[in-house]
Amino acid sequence: MPRLPLMAVLGLACLLASAPRAAEGEVVNAMDENNFTAPKEKAKAELVEGHGGGKAIKFSFENDAKGAFFMGRGRASEAWDKAAGFSFWVKGDGSTHCGGLEFVWNEDYAARYDYCFTISGTDWQKITVPWCDLIPAMPKESCKFLDPAKGNAPSKLGPLWVGKWWYWKDYAAHSFVIDDIRLEPEIAVDKTDYTPKGAPLERVLAKLKAGKPVTIVTVGDSLTDYDHWANKPVNWPTELKKALEEKYKSPVTIVNPAMGGTELRQNLIVLPRWIQSTPEPDLITVCFGGNDWGAGMRGPMFKETLDFGVDRFRRFTKGKSDLLLMTTNPNCEMWDTYAELADAARAVAKAKNTGLADIYAAVHEAGKTNREQLFCSDKVHLGPAGHQLFAKVVMAAIEAAGK
């Protein structure tokens, strides 16, 4: 094979180096200058060495920097509607904490879109964010999922903010470096259908029957959160663990990322936080509704969000985890209020072939003569009898796979 002369090789190399890369999209922020407004305290931004030889911005947050945001400049353009999403390069601090990005849509502060990313890697990593992974954080009518064709247009997103909003509940000191934010014309999103072909919980039940170790992630709000005051004496995840281990002699590990006061959408955003340490749990339980209702979410939006959430859980776990949806728990004062949320969960469980723990129905049945017995002093959160009922209903839902 004939060799090209040295000058021709050098000339070709220079030509390729200077040619635009067709696969790269429009630059949103090269991060070569510090064009972010820093919060008043507990956070700072500084220019450091970047990924490609230029500069990048290091964002550092001190401990307990709650709601601290660095506010960028500039807004989206029509080009954003033609893109599949955006990308950026990040270098983390090696911790298990996460970084957060946020956009406000159409200058509507009730329409916030958030993204959570891990910072455990200390080498440069490129992160691509399809529009479907920039998730609305609030259940407002204006806060629809991003979609240039049938949802909220990405072109109406405002400046990029870097930080964490109130619901993250993790404000330990951390830092990360971001470089080269740009639009991406194409992003490959895993669209594999991970819907189980058989009974939705048959895999986790089979492991229990075989006495094998089982890991369960309990995603939820204050009804599930270990740190909530009402759950200190007794809590249903621990009761479930005891019951499963006693019956099946299978070691059960509970991973509990539940956060009191939070809603379903917010927990879908921070999913990467626990998935990095528990990438393929045997079972994920999902228990929400009360806070969602209080924030304005109703049946149709709850159904849409649960549907999206099932796909997101399955995509992140590569279909390795069984899913169990739990219908919204009523309380003494709002005994029948959440019926449409319960109906939404039932409909999604059936359509998506997930497990279903019908908490709403079980609590109504158990409390038809004395509902207060299931709750603690505030008549909203669970008392010991309520937690034990939750564990019983979840266990029965798991065992239904064998019937």
Bigger pLDDT: 74 vs 228: 228
Does residue 5 form part of some domain?
no
Q: For residues 38 and 167, is the Cβ–Cβ distance under 8 A?
A: no
| Residues 75, 215 within the same domain | no
Q: How confident is the model at residue 402 (pLDDT cuts 50, 70, 90)?
A: confident
Identify the burial level of 261 via C-beta atoms within 10 angstroms of its C-beta, where 0-12 means exposed, 13-18 middle and 19 or more buried: middle
Q: Tens of pLDDT along 44-95?
A: 999 999 998 899 999 999 999 998 999 999 899 999 999 999 999 999 999 9
What's residue 18's pLDDT?
A: 38
| Residues 208, 172 within the same domain | no
If you average pLDDT over residues 26-42, what whole number do you get? Answer: 96
Does residue 192 form part of some domain?
no
Q: Which amino acid makes up residue 332?
A: C
Provide the mean pLDDT of the chain.
93
Does residue 194 form part of some domain?
no
Does residue 190 form part of some domain?
no
| Residues 163, 208 within the same domain | no
| Residues 267, 376 within the same domain | yes
Element (H, E) at 29: strand 27-29
| Residues 177, 223 within the same domain | no
| Residues 235, 325 within the same domain | yes
| Total number of domains in the chain | 2
| Residues 256, 366 within the same domain | yes
| Residues 245, 394 within the same domain | yes
Q: How confident is the model at residue 38 (pLDDT cuts 50, 70, 90)?
A: very high
Bigger pLDDT: 7 vs 232: 232
User: Where in the sequence is the domain holding 129, given as residue range(s)?
Assistant: 27-184
Q: Tens of pLDDT along 196-220?
A: 999 999 999 999 999 999 999 999 9
| Residues 306, 235 within the same domain | yes
| Residues 303, 164 within the same domain | no
Q: Tens of pLDDT along 333-382?
A: 999 999 999 999 999 999 999 999 999 999 999 999 999 999 999 999 99
The residue out of 128, 158, 184 marking a domain boundary is 184
| Residues 173, 230 within the same domain | no
What's residue 24's pLDDT?
A: 74
CATH assignment at residue 73: 2.60.120.430
The DSSP line for 160-208 is: -EEE--GGG-----EEEEEEEEEEES-----------SS-TTHHHHHHH
What's residue 209's pLDDT?
A: 97
pTM (2 decimals)? Answer: 0.92
| Residues 340, 257 within the same domain | yes
Q: Which amino acid makes up residue 48?
A: V
The residue out of 132, 152, 184 marking a domain boundary is 184
